[in-house]
């Protein structure tokens, strides 16, 4: 079914809508990577089987739809029943019959499967009422969880490609760029470079062969919004890229997808094939004579390829080594031709902006950072998952209102944003509105939207080392400050966390961090010191504790921490004995327990399960001090 004119497009959308309205009742089963891991495939299978057996699709007009990731993965497998709008969490195949009989057949809600508010424990059946979703404003993720990624008609019925039709038929390339400029859209990859300015530079660059690239590398640990968009609504990205190509005059496009996202590659491939089939991609798009095609390129497994020039080397089949960007990619990018490279979320926003207009997008956000931003809220927070919010919302509201507060109500300590190039922000920054300028000023970065919440049981010096170890593994090794600097910085941290820190270590770290920030060739090296510098800026006392007193305030550094049971408080509940991996806790149930220091590896599992605060930890002191004490 090929659309080769505006009229044909409208007819196709109409037909798609009728198909949907025919479905009086719908069951949405989330088939994103998260829910699949929890067994949602079996749940979908059970639904399909029982619907067929009972002939419900005929009698009730029931339609089963496999959708992309709703973003609430921790509570998966997720099932939504429409038109009631009820969300069921942790659904297992044997619950299917009950859902069909109760909710689908006669609209009753299955109490035990409904989401319960973590603090008040009250059931919240309606999808829209759950705070996790209520406070969100979804633009880039507008169709995720609503459309079946493998069915283009479903996307068409939900407004897909409307922006493209408007762009190709009503607007000139400059007007398209002006629309994006009016929206105030900035790059969602992390740096926040104004998208319109980037497009305009590429449009004006000389060269008849130009490229459009979607950066789906998303190497930041703790970030998975790009995965969810690519898996859940690939058409929004495809549409955005065609619009971008039209604006800058490019005819070849690439989507670079991470090696760790196999499902995204599959869904994207299906969507591209369907888009070509329907005349929305490839030759003579929508009959307007504009040609543009997209190839999917699977990454090789290298975080550095998230950096634009390294990504282009990878697309050229080369090693992912960045090049100095003294000449911008908009003039000499892929194969030294003018190239536009934007993040997955940016492309998805573009398609919404062209459909609804720049002013509609610019209503949200702050003065300089317009629109909405998707975050992956993870770590020690009750509601972990994908959220999309207007720019300018405060960290406190995100973590406590939407995130439902800290796990097990432990005290909040820090939130890490921007991944390995970002920083850790303490309690004092909780009232910061989240946008590019504020986060950078506070010493962190917007980055790709990873937001990792940490409680008092997280050692900030260990977090800084975690990022250093990550970067040592992911550095491409080309330039000296990054390759050698990261190795030496990690060596200093290893020393500190074993209690062998030296007084001048902090000075040496700061000097090396400055050398890397100014000397490195690409953003990976230049931003590598950010986690170090931000933890030094806000949690300097923890460094001093480790170096001078050989003590870890969070009790996580094994070499420095000693666990003991406070005998008077111990109730003999035996929980800790079961949790201990090395059997280091001695004592029968109902009796006082004690820790055998010889076997104890200070992993802290006992401390986490003990409900009576009968276990405490303290610093072992610096090795030479501890040795003298023995």
Partner 1 sequence: MIGQPCNDLRPLQEILDRYPREEAALIQVLQDVQRAYNYLPSDAIEKVAEGLGVPLARVYSVATFYKAFTLTPRGKTLVKVCLGTACHIRGAKQLVEEVERVAGIKPGETTPDRSLTLETVNCVGACAMAPVVIVGAKYHGGVKTADIRTILGSAASLAK
Partner 2 sequence: MRSGSVVEAALRWQQRLSEGGFWAMVTVTVDGRSVKVREQAYVLEACRLAGADVPTLCHHEAVEPYGACRLCMVEVTRPEWGGHTRMVASCLYPVEDGLIVHTATEKVLDVRRVVIDLLLARCPNTPLVRQMARKLGVEETSYEKAAEPTDCILCGLCTRVCDAIGPAAISAVNRGIGREIAPPFKEPPPACIGCLACAEICPTGHIKYQTSDTSRTIWGKTFEMLRCSRCGRAYVTREQAAFFERTRGIPASYMGLCDSCKRKVLADTAAQLCVTR
Q: Which residues bind partner 1 (CB under 8 A)?
A: 33-34, 36-38, 71-74, 76, 218-224, 227, 258-261, 297-303, 314-320, 376, 378-380, 384-386, 416, 419, 450, 452, 454, 458, 463, 466-467, 470, 473-474, 476, 581, 603, 605
The interface region with partner 2, picked from 12-20, 108-116, 481-489, 556-564 by CB under 8 A, is 481-489
The interface region with partner 2, picked from 211-219, 328-336, 433-441, 505-513 by CB under 8 A, is 505-513
Identify the three-state secondary structure at position 345.
Answer: helix
| Site membership for partner 2, residue 554 (CB under 8 A) | no
Which residue among 105, 407, 480, 586 contacts partner 2 (CB under 8 A)? 480
| Site membership for partner 2, residue 201 (CB under 8 A) | no
The token pair at 515 is 């050398």
Specify the residue for token string 């004092």. 428
Closest CB to partner 1 among 154 and 220?
A: 220
Closest CB to partner 1 among 342 and 416?
A: 416
The token pair at 529 is 């010191």
What secondary structure does DSSP assign to 470-492, as a single string?
HHHHH--S-SHHHHHHHHHHHHH
Percentages of the chain per state (helix, strand, coil), in multiples of 5: 45, 15, 35
- Least spacing, CB of residue 566 vs partner 1, in Å: 24
Selection from 140, 154, 28 nearest residue 84 by Cα: 28
Order of strands, edge to edge, in the sheet holding 339-343? 282-285, 290-298, 252-257, 211-216, 339-343
What is the distance of C-alpha 482 from the center of its chain?
26
Q: Which x/- pattern, by CB under 8 A, does the window 288-327 give for partner 2? A: --------------x----------------x---xx-xx
DSSP classification of residue 429: G
Q: Which does 53 bind (CB under 5 to 8 A by kind): partner 1, partner 2, none?
A: none
Which residue among 90, 487, 558, 616 contacts partner 2 (CB under 8 A)? 487
Q: Which x/- pattern, by CB under 8 A, does the window 324-363 give for partner 2? A: x-xx------------------------------------
**Angular region, 27: left φ>0, alpha ψ -120 to 50, beta rest:** beta
Beta bridge partners of 416: 424, 452
- Least spacing, CB of residue 487 vs partner 2, in Å: 5
Helix spans in 69-115 (H):
96-99, 106
Q: How many residues are recorded in the chain?
A: 630
Q: Is 324 exposed, middle or buried (0-12, 13-18, 19+ CB in 10 A)?
A: exposed
- Least spacing, CB of residue 420 vs partner 1, in Å: 9
- Least spacing, CB of residue 499 vs partner 1, in Å: 18
Which residue among 478, 562, 620, 622 contacts partner 2 (CB under 8 A)? 478
All residues at 6 or more sequence positions from 326 whose CB lies less than 8 Å from its CB, including other chains:
none
Selection from 196, 170, 202 nearest residue 184 by Cα: 196
CA-angle at 352, arms to 349 and 356, nearest 5°:
140
| Site membership for partner 2, residue 484 (CB under 8 A) | yes
| Site membership for partner 2, residue 221 (CB under 8 A) | no
Selection from 191, 185, 253 nearest residue 522 by Cα: 191
- Least spacing, CB of residue 417 vs partner 1, in Å: 11
| Site membership for partner 2, residue 608 (CB under 8 A) | no
Closest CB to partner 1 among 281 and 460?
A: 460
| Site membership for partner 2, residue 468 (CB under 8 A) | no
- Least spacing, CB of residue 476 vs partner 2, in Å: 6
From residue 477, give the alpha-carbon distance in Å to each of 74, 318, 481.
36, 15, 9
**Binding interface with partner 2 (CB under 8 A):** 302, 319, 323-324, 326-327, 472-481, 483-488, 491, 508, 511-512, 514-516, 518-521
């Amino acid at each position: 079914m090929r659309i080769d004119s505006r009229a044909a497009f409208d007819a196709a959308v109409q037909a798609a809508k009728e198909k949907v309205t025919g479905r009086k009742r719908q069951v949405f089963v989330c088939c994103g990577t998260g829910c699949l891991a929890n067994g949602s495939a079996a749940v979908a299978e059970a639904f399909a089987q029982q619907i067929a057996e009972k002939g419900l699709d005929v009698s009730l007009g029931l339609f089963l739809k496999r959708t992309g990731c709703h973003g609430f993965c921790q509570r998966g497998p997720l099932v939504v029943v429409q038109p009631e709008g009820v969300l069921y969490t942790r659904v297992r195949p044997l619950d299917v019959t009950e859902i069909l009989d109760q909710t689908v057949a006669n609209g009753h809600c299955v109490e035990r499967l409904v989401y319960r508010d973590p603090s008040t424990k009250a059931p919240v059946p309606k999808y829209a009422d759950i705070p996790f979703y209520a406070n969100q404003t979804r633009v880039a993720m507008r169709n995720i969880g609503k459309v079946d990624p493998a069915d283009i008609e479903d996307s068409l019925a939900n407004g897909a490609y409307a922006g493209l039709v408007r762009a190709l038929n009503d607007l000139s390339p400059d007007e398209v760029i002006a629309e994006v400029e009016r929206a105030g859209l900035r790059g969602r990859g992390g740096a926040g470079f104004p998208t319109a300015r980037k497009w305009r530079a590429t449009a004006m660059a000389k060269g008849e062969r130009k490229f459009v690239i979607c950066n789906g590398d998303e190497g930041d640990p703790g970030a998975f919004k790009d995965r969810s968009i690519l898996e859940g609504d690939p058409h929004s990205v495809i549409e955005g890229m065609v619009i971008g190509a039209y604006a800058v005059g490019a005819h070849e496009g690439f989507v670079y997808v991470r090696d760790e996202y196999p499902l995204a590659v599959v869904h994207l491939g299906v969507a591209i094939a369907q888009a070509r089939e329907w005349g929305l991609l490839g030759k003579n798009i929508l009959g307007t004579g504009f040609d543009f095609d997209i190839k999917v390129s699977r990454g090789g497994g290298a975080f550095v390829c998230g950096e634009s020039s390294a990504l282009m080397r990878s697309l050229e089949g080369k090693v992912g080594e960045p090049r100095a960007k003294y000449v911008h990619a908009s003039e000499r990018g892929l194969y030294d031709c003018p190239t536009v490279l934007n993040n997955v979320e940016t492309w998805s926003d573009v398609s919404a902006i062209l459909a609804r207009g720049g002013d509609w997008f610019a209503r949200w956000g702050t003065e300089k950072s317009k629109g909405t931003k998707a975050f992956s809220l993870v770590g020690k927070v009750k509601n972990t998952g994908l959220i999309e919010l207007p720019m300018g919302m405060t960290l406190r509201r995100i973590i406590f209102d939407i995130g439902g507060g800290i796990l097990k109500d432990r005290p909040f300590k820090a939130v890490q944003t921007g991944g390995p190039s970002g920083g850790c922000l303490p309690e004092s920054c909780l009232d910061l509105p989240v946008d590019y300028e504020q986060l950078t000023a506070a010493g962190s970065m917007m980055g790709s939207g990873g937001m990792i919440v940490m409680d008092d049981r997280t050692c900030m010096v260990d977090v800084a080392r975690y990022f250093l170890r990550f970067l040592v593994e992911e550095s491409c090794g080309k330039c000296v400050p990054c390759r050698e600097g990261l190795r030496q910085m990690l060596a200093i941290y290893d020393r500190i966390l074993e209690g062998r820190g030296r007084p001048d270590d902090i000075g040496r770290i700061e000097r090396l961090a400055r050398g890397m920030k100014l000397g490195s060739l690409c953003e990976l090296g230049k931003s590598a010191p950010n986690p170090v510098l931000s933890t030094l800026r806000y949690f300097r006392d923890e460094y001093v504790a480790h170096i001078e007193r050989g003590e870890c305030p969070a009790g996580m550094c094994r070499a420095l921490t000693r666990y003991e049971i406070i005998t008077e408080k111990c109730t003999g509940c035996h929980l800790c004995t079961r949790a201990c991996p090395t059997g280091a806790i001695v004592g029968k149930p109902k009796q006082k327990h004690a820790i055998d220091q010889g076997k104890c590896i200070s992993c802290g599992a006992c401390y986490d399960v003990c409900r009576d605060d009968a276990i405490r930890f303290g610093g072992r002191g610096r090795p030479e001090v501890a040795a003298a004490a023995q």
